[in-house]
A and B are shown apart, each in its own frame.
Chain A
């Protein structure tokens, strides 16, 4: 398809386990963003990529969270030793470039993570 895709759509994991969330951006989009949507915190920025590098990791809530992007395309968000407060919907977005604030970000459907 032409849009941003994310997998899995739903993930239930036990506290303490590691999880990986995947994002496939729109082809040709150089910028990729991860956000988190939760009831208590609303929509929060986590990290963004320009190509394969991540100039802004300021939103990652702890060192249990990490992300990488390879080939300027697919990105993986990894959460180690998951905690119940990590339960949220994780959203990925992409845009044509990073330099223009007016550049529209297109969002994927999200991955709903539930930590039991």
Chain B
């Protein structure tokens, strides 16, 4: 079945550091890929998405590129801020004709310090 694997957390970085959170997936066909973010005490929010190979999703300085050859969708940001501290979830959706449920990774907690 479909699955998503994320790097273990927590990830602790100083402000302005470069961020990479690795995500790989297993799925047949051509899934759509997403990054969701959950800030402390808040619900899940869509951060960015990509729907086909070589697409780059971007939002709020975060980027991720859909790599079909390596089945990856790594999240990057050039300079993190304290306000980026949150849990980040990689997810995929594979339309089957009857459902497009999301399959999530386990989440990676990011803590950014001054």
B44 at the interface (CB under 8 A from A): yes
Hey, what's the 0/1 contact readout for B12-51 against A, CB within 8 Å counting as 1? 0000000000000000000110101000001111100101
The interface centre, meaning the residue of B34, B45, B101, B104 with most chain A CB atoms within 10 A of its CB, is: B101
A72 contacts chain B at the CB level, 8 A cutoff: no
Is the pair B51, A105 in contact by a Cβ cutoff of 8 Å? no
B32 contacts A102, C-beta separation under 8 Å: yes
Assess whether A85 is interfacial by the CB under 8 Å rule.
no
- Does A104 make an interface contact (CB < 8 A)? yes
When A42-B106, A43-B89 are in contact, do A101 and B43 touch as well, CB less than 8 Å? no
Chain B residues, CB < 8 A from A42: 104-107
- A contact residues around B34 at 8 Å (CB): 104
How many A residues touch B, CB cutoff 8 Å?
Answer: 27
Q: Does B11 contact A (CB under 8 A)?
A: no
Interface-centre pick from A55, A105, A109, A110 (highest chain B CB count, 10 A): A105
Task: Establish whether residues B102 and A105, one from each chain, have CB atoms under 8 Å apart when the complex forms.
Answer: yes
Known: A101-B31, A101-B93, A104-B49. A109 touches B104 (CB 8 A): no
Task: For the complex, give the distance between the alpha carbons of A98 and B99 in Å.
Answer: 6
The A67-105 residues at the B interface (CB cut-off 8 A) are: 91, 93, 95, 98-105
Across-interface contacts of B43 in A (CB, < 8 A)? 91, 107-110
- Nearest B-chain residue to A98, judged by Cβ: B100
Q: Is the CB of A102 within 8 A of B93?
A: yes
Listed in ascending order, the chain B residues whose CB lies under 8 Å from chain A are 31-32, 34, 36, 42-46, 49, 51, 89, 93-95, 97-107
Extra contacts besides A43-B102, A107-B43, A109-B43 (16): CB < 8 Å: A31-B100, A42-B104, A42-B105, A42-B106, A45-B101, A45-B102, A55-B98, A55-B99, A91-B43, A98-B99, A98-B100, A99-B95, A100-B100, A102-B49, A103-B100, A104-B49
Measured CB to CB, the residues of A under 8 A from B are: 31, 33, 35, 42-43, 45, 48, 50, 55-56, 59, 91, 93, 95, 98-110
